[in-house]
Chain A
Amino acid sequence: MIEYRDVSVVRGGNAILDRVSLRIEKGEHVAFLGRSGAGKTTALKVINGLVGPSAGEILVDGAPMARHELPRLRRRIGYVMQQPALFPHRTVFDNVATVPRLLEWPEEKTRAEAERLLAQLELPLATFGARFPRMLSGGQQQRVAIARALIAAPEIVLCDEPFSALDPIIRAEMQSLFDGVVRASGAPPPTGAPEARTTRTTLVFVTHDVREALRIAGRVIVFDAGRVVVDTPADAFMSHQHPLVRRFVEA
């Protein structure tokens, strides 16, 4: 569970986030939608402590950030950015093994999990494991980044426009691969869940693409000028009357 209590982030006199209060339940798949500069990326980064709030409080699992030991918390939170940002001096396998090694998993378990996950992402470990990031295409690098973020079955997965740097055809392919992996990574949805858009994994997905948001999330939160302006179930989004939503829908 992730809770924002009046969270503000002020940088250089500008409020990037302006008194945001939100609750994201365990297992929810949420999209943060907004134009660039709306504050959605910052809203994402306060969850893993890459950005510290100037005021207010953020609680993960009911505990405020100050009570968490950040590196330890982050090992339970998957993070995928727009840039693959792979470690260039490490092979595909070593990149994917980053968090398991921080968690001191036995090497066989790391290898088995990497093998399973990379196969799902259509990058067989036997072929790609020993390659260096520079030998891969952009789409392949991003798949490695996804594997690196998901291997330790994180309870929370944070994505910051992970597919927007890819060309459209690869993007669609990646979205469905990603969907499959996130779905497979959790237990079946809790009973009473509206539909399959809920798993054990809590997913927060930043995007400016409406179709992507609706495809991936069960709940859409629209940011504008650092504030939450719309918070709606995904299936009610298209008919929502907020002017910003209309503009997104009509674009």
Chain B
Amino acid sequence: MSDLVRLTGEHLLIVSIAVVIAIAAGVPLGTFAHRRRRLGGIALRITDVVQTIPSLAMFGFLIPLPLLGGIGPRPAIVALVLYSLLPIVRSTLVGLERVDAHVREAATAMGMTDRQLLWNIELPLATPAIVAGIRIATVTAIGVATIAAAIGGGGLGTLIFRGVSMVDSRLILQGAVPAALLAIAADALLTQVEHYFAKRRGES
């Protein structure tokens, strides 16, 4: 039991660290992609490609890499950041694109600088979309993190891999069920956050 609690904690920890890093990188990247169309398109395509790499292969690729790679929680976090990036960059871009052109024009005509337009108007209006991206990234990361155990990343995947090698369904379930519950809980929680911001921006 204490094993389960510890592994759930580990799982949550690597996912949280990865998602926080992905937000810190993804929102600015999405904003940049919105301002600089062409470069933004390239950045988006790269994150797209990353997303298609099978997660087991991704962890494998990271093992020989210096600094970021190897085995243990660090490469696991690196991989999760890479997977979480796309939904966050994309949703930031989409959220900014959806800001009404007339609203943007009004803000500019009132005398807002580009920076004021971004912080006072565009980002607040894009927040519900950005949160939606964070929600998708988190749910994905919780799932992918189970594979991280393959390179010694810890977390609930440890139980699953142990169960697979021992052909013990009960052990597999001990890892899989809490992981699924975590994903469902994260989804529900972040949906609430999304609604809160949508309400605040005056939508519903």
A, B from the same assembly: yes
Query: Assuming the A-B contacts A88-B201, A88-B202, are A81 and B107 also in contact, with contact meaning beta carbons closer than 8 angstroms in the complex?
Result: no
Task: Check if B112 sits within 8 Å of A102, measured CB to CB.
Answer: yes
Contacts of B100 in A (CB 8 A): 85
Stretch at the interface among A22-30, A72-80, A176-184, A220-228: A72-80
CB of B109 within 8 Å of the partner chain:
yes
Task: Check if B112 sits within 8 Å of A88, measured CB to CB.
Answer: no
Task: Check if B110 sits within 8 Å of A148, measured CB to CB.
Answer: yes
Task: Check if A74 sits within 8 Å of B111, measured CB to CB.
Answer: yes
| Complexed CA–CA distance, A147 and B106 (Å) | 13
Within 8 A of B (CB), among A41-86: 48, 50, 71-75, 77, 79, 81, 83, 85-86
Kindly report which residue of chain A lies nearest to residue B113, judged by CB atoms: A71
CB of B163 within 8 Å of the partner chain:
no
Task: Check if A133 sits within 8 Å of B102, measured CB to CB.
Answer: no
CB of B97 within 8 Å of the partner chain:
no
Task: Check if B105 sits within 8 Å of A88, measured CB to CB.
Answer: no
Task: Check if B112 sits within 8 Å of A89, measured CB to CB.
Answer: no
Task: Check if A71 sits within 8 Å of B202, measured CB to CB.
Answer: no
Task: Check if B111 sits within 8 Å of A72, measured CB to CB.
Answer: yes
Query: Assuming the A-B contacts A89-B124, A89-B200, are A75 and B110 also in contact, with contact meaning beta carbons closer than 8 angstroms in the complex?
Result: yes
Within 8 A of B (CB), among A139-179: 145, 148
B78-116 CB contact bits vs A (8 Å, 1 = yes)?
000000000000000000000010110111111111001
Partner of A50, one of B105, B121, B200: B105
CB of A99 within 8 Å of the partner chain:
yes
Task: Check if B105 sits within 8 Å of A81, measured CB to CB.
Answer: yes
Within the complex, what minimum Cβ distance (angstroms) separates B5 from chain A?
41
CB of A132 within 8 Å of the partner chain:
yes
Task: Check if B121 sits within 8 Å of A87, measured CB to CB.
Answer: yes
Query: Assuming the A-B contacts A88-B202, A132-B202, are A99 and B105 also in contact, with contact meaning beta carbons closer than 8 angstroms in the complex?
Result: no
**Interface residue tally on B, bucketed by range:** 20 to 34
Task: Check if B111 sits within 8 Å of A75, measured CB to CB.
Answer: yes
Within the complex, what minimum Cβ distance (angstroms) separates A107 from chain B?
17
CB of A215 within 8 Å of the partner chain:
no
CB of B203 within 8 Å of the partner chain:
yes
Kindly report which residue of chain B lies nearest to residue A89, judged by CB atoms: B201
Contacts of A87 in B (CB 8 A): 103, 106-107, 121
CB of B159 within 8 Å of the partner chain:
no
CB of B58 within 8 Å of the partner chain:
no
| Complexed CA–CA distance, A86 and B112 (Å) | 14
Task: Check if B102 sits within 8 Å of A83, measured CB to CB.
Answer: yes
| Complexed CA–CA distance, A79 and B106 (Å) | 8
| Complexed CA–CA distance, A81 and B110 (Å) | 12
CB of B76 within 8 Å of the partner chain:
no
CB of A134 within 8 Å of the partner chain:
yes
Task: Check if A74 sits within 8 Å of B108, measured CB to CB.
Answer: yes
CB of A98 within 8 Å of the partner chain:
yes
Kindly report which residue of chain A lies nearest to residue B108, judged by CB atoms: A50
Within the complex, what minimum Cβ distance (angstroms) separates A76 from chain B?
8
| Complexed CA–CA distance, A83 and B113 (Å) | 21
Contacts of B125 in A (CB 8 A): 88-89
Partner of B103, one of A71, A79, A88, A102: A88
Task: Check if A102 sits within 8 Å of B110, measured CB to CB.
Answer: yes
Max count, chain B CB within 10 A of own CB: residue among A50, A87, A102, A134: A87
| Complexed CA–CA distance, A77 and B111 (Å) | 9
Within the complex, what minimum Cβ distance (angstroms) separates A114 from chain B?
15
| Complexed CA–CA distance, A132 and B203 (Å) | 10
| Complexed CA–CA distance, A86 and B203 (Å) | 13
Within the complex, what minimum Cβ distance (angstroms) separates B100 from chain A?
7
| Complexed CA–CA distance, A108 and B106 (Å) | 24
Ordered by A's residue number, 15 sampled pairs between the chains whose C-beta atoms are within 8 Å are A50-B105, A71-B113, A72-B111, A85-B103, A85-B105, A86-B106, A87-B121, A88-B103, A88-B202, A88-B203, A89-B201, A98-B107, A98-B110, A133-B202, A134-B203
Known: A85-B105, A99-B110. 11 other contacts (CB 8 A): A50-B105, A72-B111, A79-B106, A79-B109, A81-B102, A88-B125, A89-B201, A98-B112, A99-B111, A134-B202, A145-B106
- A-B complex: 6 closest residue pairs judged by Cβ atoms: A75-B111, A74-B111, A85-B102, A89-B201, A79-B109, A85-B106
